[in-house]
Amino acid sequence: MGEWAKEYDGWREEAPDDEPLVYIWADGVHIGLWGENDKLCALVIVGVTARGQKRLLAIEDGVRESTQSWREVLLSLKSRGMNAPKQTIGDGAMGFWAAMDEVYPTTRHHYPLLALLMTQPLPLTNSQFFKISGWIMNVCPRIDFVAVVEKNRLTTS
């Protein structure tokens, strides 16, 4: 085993810092590799303390952001001593939220507006939708705004 792999394995077993986490951010990074008909991805969790210190907590292999993959990552963090964060931020990946409910049931879920707009149509009027469209383009200039409009086109009136 290479030196990097040894360091990574050691890091994966370290206990988190003593300072409790206020919230965690989670996302699956899809890397475009296929194996055994399952889409592989990297499951990433970053924690933030009350003082604003960011901590990379996990980066693990996963399969399609499934509940089982996220559950394994969260159970590993819990066994290493990670507290239940007050809030979790993530996109619409249902496997993550199901795993959070099992492992940390008291943690609140936060779905950013942008993630909601990108993943599902919302019942917005044209007026409401276009009021927030300027904010979206300013905050996220590289977003595929056409895709957001198309996703929400059928529900706006």
pTM for the predicted model, two decimal places: 0.68
Looking at residue 156, its pLDDT comes to 43
pLDDT at 142: 47
What does the pLDDT read at residue 116? 54
**All structural domains of the chain with their residue ranges:** 3-110, 115-152
pLDDT at 99: 94
Q: In the 3-class helix/strand/coil scheme, how is the chain assigned residue by residue?
A: CCHHHHHHHHHHHCCCCCCCEEEEEEEEEEEEEEECCEEEEEEEEEEEECCCCEEEEEEEEEECCCHHHHHHHHHHHHHCCCCCCCEEECCCCHHHHHHHHHHCCCCEEECCHHHHHHHCCCCCCHHHHHHHHHHHHHHCCCCCHHHHHHHHCCCCC
Query: For residue 113, what pLDDT is reported?
Result: 56
Whole-number pLDDT of residue 154: 45
Which residue is listed with tokens 């990097």?
4
CATH of domain 3-110: 3.30.420
Give the pLDDT confidence score for residue 40 in this predicted structure: 78
pLDDT (0 to 100) of residue 32? 65
Mean pLDDT per 10-residue section of the chain, whose length is 157 residues: 81 79 86 62 88 89 87 94 89 83 90 58 63 57 53 49
pLDDT at 152: 54
